[in-house]
Structure 1
Amino acid sequence: MTLFLACAVSLFLALGLASLARRKSGYSHRRDTISELGEFGTPDQRLVSVGFFGPIGLTALLIAGLTFETSRPAAGLALCLAIGYLVAAVFPCDPGSPMSGSARQAVHNLGGGIEYFGGGVALIVLGETLGRGFAAAGVIVLASALLLSFPFGWRGLVQRVAEACLFGGLLAAVWLQRA
């Protein structure tokens, strides 16, 4: 069941990104962050929060619970993803998802920090038992987290690389540790 959930949430993320990006005028996967799909005040804010970020976060939370006994690092990775997406659902970013802004933006950024820094560390720990590819993915996520701290025209692409490492790492960990 855990493998099915990991596959389903990864596919839901990919398809949701493609679908929601088409709904937002001028959105660029290269330039814009995922959070900007549901930024505060946009027509799709509620759809993205309740129909996209929320289900991803809840599914990741369920995966964390299901993997806790068999792999604490995989559960930690899933928990970091859950925190990032659930915080994004409850605290949508300010327009443009700046590093500073409203209190809501500060909480949003904290959730993202937990997802990326915690998830990167979890991947590195998974690399100790599952192989260096996990550790490499963790380093990529940590580097991406640092890069996302600066406004530049490739933030969206950098974030998608990090998300691919995080969700791909979770999927691979669940696959390799299945009973």
Structure 2
Amino acid sequence: MNIAFFLSIVAITLLITSLIVLGNRKTGYSHYFHTISELGEVGAPHQYRVAWFVFMPVGLLLLPVAYLYQESFPALASLAACVAVGYMVAALFPCDPGSPTSGSLRQSIHNLGGAVEYIGGGISLMWIAESAGIGFKVLGSITLGIAFALTFMSSKSARGLVQRIGEAVLFGSITFLVWLH
């Protein structure tokens, strides 16, 4: 097993386990309606735990993946870096309660990190499609569509579900590609 595959599996396992455990501990939290960031929103009971023991480690686990592939597969390096940046920005700039599309300066920076993750990730997947096949172009289009949807979906909609589909595409693509290469 290569180190990049191991790191991506650890990142996914940490994220999924944390979503399940902390999602069950936050009163009223719904994986269907609420974004992942809302687990660590300002004032949340586990705000610092989510930032420093979930978001930051997930980002830091993906940075070496980006580094390891920067020469041999730069499109994959770009994808891993975009996701890493999204998570590290979320750790440093937790969202406002409810993770609105507009709000405080901190929320704007948080949203910018999300844009790097989803828009950068979608573009990276399209770049990957040039060498890995049209399926990744479809995944890139889905990811870009999710970025657009999350920008306009209300907090009473299925934002959580839509975001988790995007996360599955991004993390699944990274893990699959490092397994292949």
Deviation, structure 1 residue 123: 0.7
Q: Deviations over 1:79-111 (max 9, x none)?
A: 001110000000000000001100000000000
Deviation, structure 1 residue 77: 0.3
Query: Where do residues 69-88 of structure 1 align in structure 2 (5 Å cutoff)?
Result: 69-88=71-90
| 2:139 maps to 1:164 | no
Deviation, structure 1 residue 151: 3.1
SS at match of 1:148: helix
C-alpha contact 2:86 2:116 (8 A) present in aligned 1? yes
Deviation, structure 1 residue 18: 1.0
Gaps of 5+ in 1: none
Query: Where do residues 14-163 of structure 1 align in structure 2 (5 Å cutoff)?
Result: 14-152=16-154, 153-163=157-167
Q: Which amino acid aligns with 1:150?
A: F
60-69 or 141-150: bigger deviation: 60-69
Q: Which amino acid aligns with 1:18?
A: I
Give 2:177's aligned residue. Answer: 173
Give the TM-score of the pair, scaled to structure 2. 0.95
- Give identity over the alignment, percent: 50
SS at match of 2:100: coil
Runs of 4+ in 1 over 2 A off after TM superposition: none
Q: Which amino acid aligns with 2:31?
A: H
C-alpha contact 2:26 2:45 (8 A) present in aligned 1? no
Q: Which amino acid aligns with 1:15?
A: T
Deviation, structure 1 residue 131: 1.6
| 2:6 maps to 1:4 | yes
Gaps of 5+ in 2: none
Query: Aligned partners of 2:12 and 2:153: how far apart in 1?
Result: 27
97-106 or 131-140: bigger deviation: 131-140
Aligned-residue RMSD, C-alpha = 0.9
SS at match of 1:100: coil
